[in-house]
Structure 1
Amino acid sequence: MNNKSRKIGAIVAVVVAISAGTAVTHRRAAKQPAPGPAAASAPVLANATRPPSDQAVTALLALPELKAWSEWIEKKSKGAAHGAVVADSSGNRTINGRSYQAYSFVENDAESAHFWQGFYVTPAGDSILVEDAATGDVVSVDEWRQKDKPLERLKEN
């Protein structure tokens, strides 16, 4: 699945906003419009049909790249936007015989969520793969760091 096919507004999601070293979780059901400015801070009801794994989300949030991106987004937007992890509603994907859930890291503000990177994480959080948005291929976190140099995105902006 590439970033063009991700429909952030129509996702059964857990959005984890990363702010000042803490994580705040908001759950949103499929096909609900994204909350507007007045509702941005209120949690929205969860769709419990496919809850994301807390261990998977914790493992993903531990990546130094996501921490750095979140801090940069917060600083650049003067607190108006935050880094967030969104669980994709498309279900699990089997890769090399293991089940992975799809997640996206997004820049989340009161109006919208802007896709930054796709990930696949096992429910136990013991394996993270990174999706190449152009091809849909997945690589290990180490390969992604070597090939894409994700922390350099912050230097470009």
Structure 2
Amino acid sequence: MNRSILHSISIIVIMGLTACESSDIPTESVQIANSVSISPAQPSAAPQIVTNEKPKSVGEIMDFLVQSVPEIRQYKQMIETNKSKVLFLSDGLISVLDRPGKYYDMYIGESFSDHVVRWNTFYVSEDMKEILVEDVITGNILTLEEWRKRGAK
């Protein structure tokens, strides 16, 4: 959990939604950002960054997740109702502990003028066929089905 927050707070480049071509996501309520990875000082169970791969764009990953996971659309609508902004951050292509292959990570949260609040972090397989979710309390990586069974909130 802290890894994502530290990455997003340390070095964030906020971009406009122009990279995203989805017409059902209003630009005034969404921020897209790419964050630069910082190597952790100590080994942890958190996913490790892979630096030699070129990731898909944040907009492509965001569009895929919004279309594939209805809970993200519901969260986005709730945030918009509160007149706040949804924030999408990605470190790019990473390895996820105990999982074969590589995944794009996507931190989703709410952006305020002085801080961000994490809602969830999703991992999308490189071939865009699998979605995993990081448990916000334990840090364990769950399948989308396991996350939903636990009451995806």
Please say whether Structure 1 and Structure 2 have the same fold, judged by a TM-score greater than 0.5. yes
- CA distance in structure 2 between the aligned counterparts of 1:86 and 1:146, rounded to whole angstroms: 25
Determine which of 95, 98, 118 is the counterpart of 1:93.
95
Q: Render the CA deviation track for 1:17-41: whole Å, top value 9, x for unaligned.
A: 79x931546445649xxxxxxxxxx
Instruction: Give the CA deviation at 1:11.
Output: 4.6
**1:136 aligns to what SS in structure 2?**
coil
Which residue is equivalent to 1:60? 65
RMSD: 3.2
- CA distance in structure 2 between the aligned counterparts of 1:10 and 1:132, rounded to whole angstroms: 22
User: Is the counterpart of residue 9 in structure 1 residue 9 in structure 2?
Assistant: yes
Which residue is equivalent to 2:119? 116
Q: 1:88 to 1:107 in 2, by over 3 A?
A: same
**2:137 aligns to what SS in structure 1?**
coil
Calculate the TM-score normalised by the size of structure 1.
Answer: 0.63
User: Is the counterpart of residue 82 in structure 1 residue 80 in structure 2?
Assistant: no
Q: 1:16 to 1:130 in 2, by over 3 A?
A: farther
Determine which of 101, 107, 110 is the counterpart of 2:110.
107
Does structure 1 retain, via aligned residues, the 8 Å contact 2:124–2:132? yes
Which residue is equivalent to 2:79? 73
Q: 1:28 to 1:145 in 2, by over 3 A?
A: closer
Q: 1:13 to 1:119 in 2, by over 3 A?
A: farther
**1:88 aligns to what SS in structure 2?**
strand
Instruction: Give the CA deviation at 1:66.
Output: 0.8
Q: Sequence identity of aligned pairs in percent? A: 20
**1:5 aligns to what SS in structure 2?**
helix
Q: Which runs of 5+ in 1 are unaligned?
A: 32-48
**2:149 aligns to what SS in structure 1?**
helix
Instruction: Give the CA deviation at 1:137.
Output: 1.4
Number of residue pairs matched by the alignment: 126
Which stretch shows the higher mean deviation, 114-123 or 21-30?
21-30
Read off the aligned partner of 2:10 and give its amino acid letter. A
Instruction: Give the CA deviation at 1:121.
Output: 1.1
